[in-house]
Chain A
Amino acid sequence: MTSSILDQVRSIASDLFGVPVDRIVAESSPEMIEAWDSTQHLNFVLALEEKFGLQLSPEEMEQMRNVGEAARLVETKLQKASR
C-alpha cells in the first residue's frame, strides 16, 4: 500500500472521528475509536468516495474493519479504475 493513500485516509479519519492524526494508525478501528460508530462509518465511507472519486458498495463498506483495510480497498479500487 502506498503511504500517500494511507496518510490521506488517516487524515480523513482524524477529521471525522475527532482524533489527532498522529494517533490514527493502520490498525485503528471502531473498537479503538469511540466516535467510530455505524453512522460515522457510513460518513467515513462517503468521505472516502468524495476524496478519491470512487463508489463503494455496502459489502466493501463492511469489509473496512480498520483504517489500513480502508486504505487498501481504496488503493485496489483506484488501481482497477486506472487499468
Chain B
Amino acid sequence: MPIVIQPYREEHQPAVQEFNRRLQSGGAELDLIFFRFAQPRWLPPAEGAKLYQRYFVALENGVVRGGYALKQQDFFFADGITRTVAYYHHPLSEGIVNKSYAAVGSMLLKDAMNRSPLLYCLGMGGYDRPLPKMLARLGWAHFLVPFYFHVARPNRFFKEMQALHTSPSRRLLLNLAAFTGTGWAGVKTIQGLRKLRAPKLTPFTVEKIEDFSDWVDPLWEQAKNHYAMTAVRDCQTLRTLYPASDTHFTRLRVRRSGRDIGWAVVGERRKDEKYGAMRVGSIVDCWASPDDALPVMQAASAALVDNGVDLIVSNQSHRLWARALEHAGFLHSPSNFIFAAGKKLSALLQPFAETQSRIHFTRADGDGLPRNF
C-alpha cells in the first residue's frame, strides 16, 4: 500500500497514538513522540496569520508511519525582500524502529520541500543525530549557532551541573570547589575579566513591560537592514510569540536618552536533569541594531539575575550579538544547536561562509516556545 502524506487531522489522532506506541515499544528514545493533537497548541493556523504551525502525517492505509511539523514565518533578507520561510521540525518516521520504513524520513522532508521551498532546520541536538547527518548529505548549508552561558551562582553551578559530574573524583572536586568558594572566585574572575574588555556604554534605562506595542515597529524598521536574514520581529509578531497572557516571560524595553534602542525577552527554563536542581534562565529573544546589542544583553542578563536564576544560557548566531554576550560576562561553550538551510534558502545567503555571521537566530526561532526555550 503506498504511503501518502496529508495534513494531520483530528481523525488521525488515534493512529498517531498507535504510531507513538510502536515507536516506544520498538525502543525509540522517550522524547520521540509525535504530537497527540492535530491542532497545534502553539501557533495554530488562523485566518490571515503569517506565523503559524501545521502538522503532517504519512499514512499507509490509515496507519500512521511518520509525521512532521512546519512553522511558517516571514523573514527579512539582505536584499530588502521579506519572504515566507518554513522551519521543518519534529520529523518522525517508523523507520526508527522498522527498517522497512527507512524511506519515510526522506519522503517527509520531500513533502516539506514541496510545500515550502525555503526551508530550514534548527537545534537538532548535534551533528551525530540522524537528521543533521541526512541534511549534510543533501548538501544543506549549516553551522553551529554559538552557545553562551553565565554563571550567576557559582556554588550552585558546581554542585548541580550534572554534565561536569562525570566521575566520582570530579564530583568530589566540584563539590569541594563549591564548598570552599574557590569555584566562586574562579568563575567570578573569568566572567569579570570578560566584562573588563567591554566598551564603555552610555547610560541606558530598562523597563519591564507587560506587552509589546507600537514602539517596537520603528525599532524593527531601523535595525532590520543590519541583518543578512532575520525573522520579522514587528509588533504583531511579538504579540503572537509573547502574548501578554504568557506571564512566565519577562519583556524588557531598553532606552537611551529617551530613545528606544532595543528589547529582550527572558524567562526561566523548565527543569532539565542535565542542570540538576539549578534554576536556569534563558535569553529567549532580543532585538536592536547590532551596535546596540551590548546594553540589551546586559539588561537581559541583569533581569534574570534579579529573578534569582543560577545560570543563564543563550544561543546567538550573529557575531555582534555573540560578542555582546562575551562583553556581558558570558562564557562560550560547545554548541549542539545547528542551523541548516535548504538549497533554495542557502542560495539567498551566498556567500554562506561570510553571511552566516550576520544571520540573526535565537532560541525563539526554534520550536520550543513557550515551554522549551
Contact = CB atoms under 8 A, between A and B. Distances in A.
A41 B102 CA distance: 11
A58 B111 contact: yes
Interface in B202-221: none
A58 B3 contact: yes
Contacts of B139: 43
Contacts of B103: 38, 41, 62
B109 interface: yes
B108 A42 contact: no
| B contact face: mostly helix, strand, loop, or mixed | helix
A41 B95 CA distance: 15
B116 to A, nearest CB: 13
B167 interface: no
A58 B3 CA distance: 8
A41 to B, nearest CB: 6
Contacts of B5: 58-59
Nearest to A58: B107
B285 to A, nearest CB: 33
Given A58-B108, A58-B111, A39 B2 contact: no
A78 interface: no
Interface in A1-57: 37-43, 45-46, 55-57
B193 interface: no
Interface residues of B, number: 20
A39 B109 CA distance: 10
Contact of A38 (B2, B3, B58, B105): B105
A63 interface: yes
A11 to B, nearest CB: 19
A39 B3 contact: no
A61 interface: yes
B372 interface: no
B4 A61 contact: no
Contacts of A43: 137-139
B109 A42 contact: yes
Nearest to A50: B343
Nearest to B137: A39
B114 A55 contact: yes
B105 A61 contact: no
7 contacts: A39-B106, A42-B106, A55-B114, A57-B114, A58-B107, A58-B114, A61-B106
Given A39-B138, A58-B58, A58-B107, 11 more contacts: A38-B102, A38-B105, A39-B137, A43-B137, A46-B138, A55-B114, A57-B111, A57-B114, A59-B3, A59-B5, A63-B2
The 7 nearest A-B residue pairs measured at CB? A58-B107, A42-B106, A38-B106, A58-B111, A58-B110, A38-B103, A39-B137
